[in-house]
Structure 1
Amino acid sequence: MKNILLLILVIFFGLSYQTQAQTEVKEYFSLSEAQDFALKNSYSVKGTDYDLQVARKKVWETIADGLPQIDFSADYTNNLKLSKSPLPVEFANVIRAMSGEPTSDEPMFVSFAQQYSGSAGITVNQKIFDGSYIVGTMAAKVYLQLSKDQKEKSEIEIKDAVAQAYYTVLVAKENYKTIKDNLEINEKLLKEIEAYYENGFREELDVDQIRLNRNNAKTNLSDAKRAIRTALIVLKFTMGIDVDKQIELTNTLASLVDPIRSVIPAISTYDVSNHIDYKIMSTQLKAQDLLIKNEQAAYLPNISAFYTYNKNTSTDYSNVLKSEVPWFNSSILGFKVSMPIFSAGKRRSRVKQQKIEYLNLENNLLMTEQNLKKDLSISFSNLLNAQEKYENDSEGSKIAKRIYDRTRIKFNEGISTSTELSENEKQYIDAHAAYINSTLMLLNSKIAFDKALSKL
């Protein structure tokens, strides 16, 4: 009975798992949908979003430093062994006389403390003037802007990465389809040649050559299948989706390539200040200017006010909160002013260091501007070259396919040799590989050009 129940459970869970696997819902993504999904779920974008949240909290932390600061303190003390102090002999004899004791030349040791003591107080501190605080509040807002810029840059990078991964999957699928078609041709051709050979119309060399072509096509097909699987894993990881989840891409390769083939790139309206790298460098320059101001603020005085209210007691009762125990109040109101006088040139040196760093960042900003212009010019040329190469390789792949088809017909008619057929097949495979590479290059060149134009 136990074995029967175990068998039923195995069959039940096996069928449930199979049903679940068969009914697993795939998610479908166009390129823009994949990019939007990545902007919300990508690991790198999430990281910059957390940094932005920290920056927002940092702004309030800096502002709160200039608001009233209230602290409470309390303590309770049990003097396990009271300390004693000697009284002068004259005072000691007076006490002895009052107590009816004989006088003596020895000092008397008495304790001025009581067994238990307690205190509680509140202190309020308020900045009135602090140059570093004023600069700090401005710096916190610049830091927030820098975090926003970094988040924007991360979003651009993830859209770029998703696009490249998306293209790679589509190109890998196109390559797989072509290789699969070629394998089917070789399978069919091999059967025909083997039939001819069995009837004495073909040599064994022809059979071996076609079988070798078939085996090479099988190997290429396995490589192409693994390439699709790898490309999909990279895409899902880049999007921030579970790599075990099933997804389908809705864009076709032609729908993405055709608009790029006909587009004429233009850079006449380019404004380098809109590029995210330029924005980041500009924000860093603002932050450095505030660092200079912060060092200069060290020359200014700091003014603050404070108020303290305190209650304390000392008693022989262990419970200091009893009504019989007296508590004594005290309060203090004051102002504090501190101002640097002489630092042997230390502060001046720190200001000069920050000014030199500002000049360095200015130089980096100019370098970034020129580098962005250089990247745009290069991406423009690369796009034009990719368009031209794609057209040539596309036509070359079609020509090589026609040559291969004609040679295969001639081979079936006994006009062409198996060696010539094998060479033309290899020529077609190489031409197709060049076409696949140029397709991917064209797509990536377009995305690089859009990125350089700040249109990604």
Structure 2
Amino acid sequence: MPLKNITQLKTITAYQKIMMKNFTLLLALLIGTFLQAQQTDFVKTFTVEEAVQYAISNNFDAKNSKLDVDKARWRNWEIKSMGLPTLSAAAEYDYYFKQPQIPSIEKIFNDPNSITTQVFGYLAMKDPNILQMLYNYSVNNKDTKISFVMPHNFNTSLTLSQLLLDGRYFIGLKATRDFTKVARLQKDLSDQDIRYNVMKAYYQAQAAKESKQYLEEVKVLVEKITSDTRKIYKEGLTEELDVNRLELTLSNLESQLNITEKMATVALANLKFQMGLDLGSEIILTDKISDLRAKMDPSVLPNFEPSKRIEYQLLETVIRVRHYDTQQRRSGHFPSLVGFLNYGWQAQVDKFGNFFKSREVSYPDGDVRKKSNWFQTGIVGLKLSVPIFDSGNKMAQTQQGKLDEQKSKNDFEKFKQASALQFQSSQAFFAQALSEEQYSQKSVELSQKIFNKTNIKFKEGVGNSFELVQAQQELIQNRLKFIQAQLNLLNTKADLDKAVGK
């Protein structure tokens, strides 16, 4: 092969290698981007307010409270429909395998007071030949029993009814608006409780997370100090006791970190449960405890007005509902009036198939006509129901309603006092938490200064490990106490907001 061709071939091969390398890098970049996008899709981030709003839509209690509102609407329609027209259909088929019979015709004619004799008399007035025919039949068949009921009977009807007067119905109509209001207020109260629980769960989870992160940072620092001390010990510039003390501190720190990790896991799982999230889902909390604390202005405290509490409005509405219930029970003593219209069809035949056939009827003039086996009936009327005596049943129901109404009033007065006590307690706890946070912050600042100076002295060889370990432990405990103090302050602020109805 010529040298020129070999050179060209090497150039092409080198170019292909470069392109393949670039393609591999591009493919790796695309795969990494795809995996990162997939991870982002599965990991959700939440602020406190986002967590609250998610919970109001997905928490199980929130879902049930929404269903209760819908249920109240259907309950109202149930009450209203009692005063609207109702239409019903009925059908009945009877087969007499043994037909009812009456005594012989001769005995009937011997008893002029029998209804059958009177019916025959009426028929005789219409056609005298009928009476003569029946009499001749009775002479020839003295002991024969007869039946006026066909084996196969079918009845069908349509009934239209309308409630015209009923005191219980009209009182129920008045109460429907309050039924819906009670359900809505209960939903608002449920949402408020969900907000309260989610906020406190969020604070707890974030505080546990930050405590864990802080201990991890301290662990890295202690590991470095321990490692440096080992090197100094090998050079003979410190005692083995100093190394042992630092190793013990590191061991205790790892144990404390392990406990904190478990607490953080449990706290995060509790937050997911309160939010209505799947416990296996991944979430990231973006609001730090310090940021949440910075947004709080302790100098601005809410005013207490019991009427703004949802429970206050709810109990007021419940009292009205109880009053309507008492009135409705009392109105059971009053009359009720219902109007109705019934239209039906009935047939009696000797064979089932004759339901669908016509019968032939002979007339005196010799004419034979076909008639349907079905006959029509219609009735319109009013039904008045007047309670007269029920052995005190309705009176007992009314008295129970009055007692329930009084209990609701007692609950209302109890809530007024309890809410005032709750507000006073929340104020006191919030003030105490604020004071503890301020003291804790000062302790952290002092502990940090002490540790920094002790660490410098230890590095310079003028301090010992005992002082360093003690300063480190005090700093860790004060820092964790400060996080807990901030958490307590946020929790007491949530309690105070709930006490005023926020």
Please state which band the TM-score falls in when normalised by the shorter chain: 0.7 to 0.9
**Structure-2 separation of matches of 1:443 and 1:100:** 105
Match 1:119 to one of 130, 146, 155: 155
Structure 1 residue 45, shift from structure 2 partner: 0.2
Retained in 1: the 8 A contact 2:302–2:497?
A: no
Q: Calculate the TM-score normalised by the size of structure 2.
A: 0.80
- The equivalences for 1:34-53 within 5 A come to 34-53=51-70
Corresponding residue of 2:181 = 145
Corresponding residue of 1:274 = 308
Structure 1 residue 290, shift from structure 2 partner: 0.7
Corresponding residue of 2:366 = none
Structure 1 residue 414, shift from structure 2 partner: 3.4
Corresponding residue of 1:328 = 375
**Structure-1 separation of matches of 2:471 and 2:264:** 26
1:200 match: secondary structure:
coil
1:336 match: secondary structure:
strand
- Whether 1:264 aligns to 2:299 is yes
- Whether 1:54 aligns to 2:71 is yes
Retained in 2: the 8 A contact 1:96–1:103?
A: no
Retained in 2: the 8 A contact 1:38–1:238?
A: yes
> Which is worse superposed, 170-179 or 182-191?
170-179
Letter in 1 for 2:202: Y
Retained in 2: the 8 A contact 1:92–1:108?
A: no
Distance 1:385 1:97, change over 3 A: closer
Identity %: 25
Letter in 2 for 1:152: D
**Structure-1 separation of matches of 2:134 and 2:301:** 110
2:164 match: secondary structure:
strand
Corresponding residue of 2:38 = 23
- The equivalences for 1:100-119 within 5 A come to 107-119=143-155
Structure 1 residue 440, shift from structure 2 partner: 0.6
**Structure-1 separation of matches of 2:397 and 2:45:** 58
Corresponding residue of 1:422 = 469
Letter in 2 for 1:75: E
Letter in 2 for 1:168: Q
1:110 match: secondary structure:
coil
Corresponding residue of 2:369 = none
**Structure-2 separation of matches of 1:206 and 1:55:** 73
Letter in 2 for 1:297: S
Corresponding residue of 1:341 = 388
Retained in 2: the 8 A contact 1:383–1:442?
A: yes
Retained in 1: the 8 A contact 2:186–2:314?
A: yes
Answer with 1 or 2: which has the greater Rg: 2
Retained in 2: the 8 A contact 1:89–1:108?
A: no
Structure 1 residue 337, shift from structure 2 partner: 1.5
> Which is worse superposed, 243-252 or 366-375?
243-252
Corresponding residue of 2:339 = 305
Match 2:200 to one of 161, 164, 170: 164
**Structure-2 separation of matches of 1:329 and 1:343:** 39
Deviations 1:297-326 (A, max 9, x none): 122111111121121110124231334442
RMSD: 2.6
Retained in 2: the 8 A contact 1:183–1:217?
A: yes
Match 2:87 to one of 66, 70, 75: 70
Match 1:133 to one of 161, 169, 188: 169
- Whether 1:210 aligns to 2:225 is no
Unpaired runs of 5+ residues, structure 1, are: 1-15
**Structure-1 separation of matches of 2:72 and 2:261:** 45
- Whether 1:357 aligns to 2:404 is yes
Match 1:442 to one of 489, 498, 502: 489
Unpaired runs of 5+ residues, structure 2, are: 1-30, 111-131, 360-371
**Structure-1 separation of matches of 2:138 and 2:193:** 96
Distance 1:447 1:160, change over 3 A: same
1:353 match: secondary structure:
helix
**Structure-2 separation of matches of 1:346 and 1:98:** 62
**Structure-1 separation of matches of 2:311 and 2:139:** 93
Corresponding residue of 1:221 = 257
1:108 match: secondary structure:
coil
Match 1:178 to one of 184, 208, 214: 214
Distance 1:100 1:126, change over 3 A: closer
1:331 match: secondary structure:
strand
Distance 1:259 1:71, change over 3 A: same
Distance 1:198 1:452, change over 3 A: same
Match 1:199 to one of 235, 247, 267: 235
**Structure-1 separation of matches of 2:107 and 2:38:** 105
Corresponding residue of 1:3 = none
Letter in 1 for 2:460: E
**Structure-2 separation of matches of 1:177 and 1:351:** 64
